[in-house]
Amino acid sequence: MDLTPTQLGGLAVTGLVLAIVALALATWSQLRLRTLRRSYRVLWAGGERDVATLVGDQHRRLDRLEGEVAVGRVEVAAVRGDVARSLRHVAVVRYDAFGDMGGRLSFSCAVIDDEGDGLVLSAIHARGESRTYAKGIVGGTSTVTLSPEEQQALSSARADEGRGAGSDRG
């Protein structure tokens, strides 16, 4: 089969058009690929790794973090137990132990934990002497009789009143 010069010219033009279209598609694909690479480069901070490797690395990091969170939970539970047993509820009642003394120099101070265990300290000031007493508290009560001021300090501490500032009784 012999082709005429007109047919050969038409075939050449068709080939040229197809080549131009192919070149345009290749250029467009190259530009699109460059744009996608730039977008994914943000995902893995410039490293040339595939997505499967990236996902595997992230999965390993998440597993490690889950372990660290589990350890943190155990430690927080231990700290909560320690805080519950710490003597952190404090209340002070100041008063005049004797009618001839002024200035409320006597005081009773209750210091207990969350379970109501701790102690009550009392200091009684008189003109010529001063006495200090300590009474143990277990479960919010004492085996030794508490004075009204000591009982008031213990009640305030159990209610978490007077924290830091204390309360006064005239």
- 106-112 vs 130-137, strand pairing mode: unpaired
Q: Band of the pLDDT at 156, cuts 50, 70, 90?
A: very high
Mean pLDDT of 133-148: 93
Alpha carbons 101 and 78: distance in angstroms, whole number = 48
Evaluate if residue 165 carries a pLDDT over 60: no
Mean pLDDT of 11-32: 95
Evaluate if residue 155 carries a pLDDT over 90: yes
What is the side-by-side strand order in the sheet with 89-95?
130-137, 118-125, 106-112, 89-95, 167-168
Average pLDDT, the chain: 86
Asked whether 97 and 163 are in contact (CB, 8 A), the reply is no
pLDDT recorded at residue 138: 94
pLDDT recorded at residue 121: 96
* Predicted confidence (pLDDT) per residue in 103-114, tens digit: 788 999 999 998
Evaluate if residue 164 carries a pLDDT over 70: no
Residue where the block lists tokens 């000591």:
150
Residue 112: which residues within 8 A CB-CB, separation 6 or more? 87, 89, 118, 119, 137, 140, 154, 157, 158
Of the two residues 90 and 161, the one the predictor is more confident about is: 90
Determine the distance from the C-alpha atom of residue 135 to the mean position of all C-alpha atoms in its chain, rounded to a whole number: 38
- 89-95 vs 167-168, strand pairing mode: parallel
Evaluate if residue 169 carries a pLDDT over 50: no
Residue where the block lists tokens 């969350």:
114
User: Cα-flanking dihedrals φ and ψ of residue 108, to 5°?
Assistant: -130, 130
Residue where the block lists tokens 């410039």:
46
Asked whether 168 and 91 are in contact (CB, 8 A), the reply is no
Listed in order, strand segments (DSSP E) in the chain are 89-95, 106-112, 118-125, 130-137, 167-168
pLDDT recorded at residue 43: 59
Alpha carbons 110 and 135: distance in angstroms, whole number = 9
* Predicted confidence (pLDDT) per residue in 68-109, tens digit: 999 999 999 999 988 888 888 999 999 988 877 777 889 999
pTM of the model: 0.55
